[in-house]
Amino acid sequence: MLKISKKNPYIIITLIYLIIFVPIIFIRYPDIRNELKYFIVIDEMINSKNYFILTYFSELYPDKPPLYFWLLLILKKYTPNLFFPLSILLGSLLPSFGISILVFKLVKKIKNSNFALLSSIMLTTTPFFMGVSSFLRMDMLMSFFISLSLYLFFSLYLSKEIKKINLIFLYISIILGILTKGGAGFAIPIITIFSFLFLEKNLKFLSKIHIFKGILSIIIILSVWFFIIYNKPEGKNYISLMLNQETIGRISNAKAHSRPFYFYIKKIPLILFPYGIILIGAFISYIKNFKNIFFLSLIEKIGISWGIAPLIFFSLLDGKLDIYLIPLYPGFIIITLSFLYISKNTKIKSMTIKISKIITFIPILFEKIFNKKSKIKHLILSSFIIYLAFPLAINKYNDKFTLNNLYTIIKYDSNSQIFSYKFNDFINMKTNIKKEITSLSNEIELNTINNSKKSLIICKNKYANEISQFENFTLIYKNKSYSLFSN
């Protein structure tokens, strides 16, 4: 195996981020649905000087806690020209990098540097994880706080003494996770901790980490947060929406993204590509050998408690989205790698790898990678070869699939009135183009456009035919996603 010095792993992980991720965040165009929506929330927070009650076009926006938006607000105020790339860098990319480092450090405590580095690289180069790391969403920041809390917990469990400072930071990390994106910041660490100690038959360790005092401190801080909101205008209504619609509602009756119980299991092969099939194989193996669950290795118990236990919990909730599983990726990767290294169920392991080979060529490397005579640099080189093309393809993606070119046309056409047709999310472009945008929802409303004034109408391509049937509208631009018409 490749001989790894104390510095090499960190250099390798850093190089992956510098070469693959950093170029992406500086050249990709913002997403219209979420990222540009956050820009509007930030602008309204600055204008209203209300930093606890979020609004979106003057309507209450209780979907997310404020911590992430506070970070964006600081960047918008002090680095307006680099706001978007710096927001992704500090809000997603650095947290992602932190998770990779924490996974390496944790796994190294239990296994060895090679196993730990391989875990970190597999996590970092999983396409879905890469995508979220380069996207302006609070999921990665919350995942970092969750990972930090669990790293601190497992470190405390493995150490001979309980350091109070580590305990304090454990519960602070959970609080920060909650304030970043809500209940998952609490549920995942607590479920993982209880599940692991149950597998270890060591629930008495809960008293050593003062779990009930920790939970009480979390409740007190959240109560202060709610008290501040309650005393703001519309605070009572805001809290009601937060608790009923965004918390209880997502558990039992989600307003959106309602999915069946098996949704995540069905999605795992795709969202954990190319390792998803191997993870499913690990699930099957552990189920078949459930009677031996208490005798698994320590690394497997960590993977199960961090990956499978929260996955079961999330599957029971009504609201489900692929991105909700990002905090569980360290557990998924640990299970996957442990299964390939440790599992004695050679039949399931062999069948799983064969299925993986059919889906993607990447797992073909597994047999060499996991051969003791091979070198871990095989995976590192293959990862660079596969993913180096990503930044090079972003400009092409911007032209073909985003609003990048449309934004340029609209922004510098100062005389036109702007309409969006069956494309409500385009309203998020308002602060960028600094023009009024009128939303149209049907063909009758198209007839109300005053043709004496120059008009630009944007729609998704699936609705372009509905506009082109009007003789007074001409298609002036089209890419793979959007069409722009003028009269």
Residue 376 binned pLDDT confidence (cut-offs 50, 70, 90): very low
CA distance 317 to 184: 11
Residue 255 to residue 86: CA distance in whole angstroms? 32
Cβ atoms < 10 Å from Cβ of 296 = 18
The CA distance from 91 to 111, in Å, is: 31
Residue partners of 47: CB distance under 8 A and separation at least 6: none
Strand partners for 458: 420, 484
- Please state, in angstroms and rounded to a whole number, the distance separating the CA atoms of residues 335 and 203: 22
- Please state, rounded to an integer, the average pLDDT across all residues of the chain: 84
Q: Which residue has the tokens 């472009």?
A: 429
Confidence band of 147 (pLDDT split at 50, 70, 90): very high
Cα 437 to Cα 439: distance, rounded to the nearest angstrom: 6
pLDDT higher than threshold 80 for residue 346: no
Predicted pLDDT of residue 462 = 92
Q: Which residue has the tokens 């479920």?
A: 191
Distance (Å, rounded) from C-alpha 107 to C-alpha 25?
29
Query: What is the pLDDT at residue 191?
Result: 96
Lowest mean pLDDT among 80-89, 96-105, 282-291, 359-368: 359-368
User: Which residues are CB-neighbours of 477 under 8 A, at least 6 positions away?
Assistant: 405, 406, 409, 483, 484
Beta pairing class for 455-460 and 417-421: parallel
- Give the C-alpha separation, 275 to 359, whole Å: 10
Confidence (pTM): 0.86
DSSP class per residue in 23-61: HHHHHPPPPTTTHHHHHHHHHHHHHHT-SSS-EETTEE-
56 φ, ψ to 5°? -135, 110
**Residue 475: band (very low, low, confident or very high) from pLDDT cuts 50, 70, 90:** very high
> Cα–Cα distance between 137 and 127 in angstroms, integer?
16
Reading the block at residue 62, the tokens are 């209780």
Average pLDDT over residues 375-391: 56
**Cβ–Cβ < 8 Å for 41, 428:** no
Calculate mean pLDDT across residues 199-207: 94
pLDDT for 108 beyond 50: yes
pLDDT tier at 101, thresholds 50, 70, 90: very high
Cα distances (angstroms) measured from residue 274 to each of 96, 126, 403: 19, 7, 30
Tokens 């309602």: give the residue: 258
- Give me the pLDDT at residue 223, please: 93
Collapse the DSSP code of 189 into the 3-class scheme (helix H, G, I; strand E, B; otherwise coil) and give the result.
Answer: helix
In angstroms, rounded to a whole number, what is the distance separating the alpha carbons of residues 409 and 431?
A: 16
Helices (H) and strands (E) in the chain, counts: 28, 7
Average pLDDT value for residue range 407-425: 86
Give the per-residue pLDDT at 253: 59
| φ, ψ dihedrals at 319, nearest 5° | -85, 125
pLDDT at 257: 61
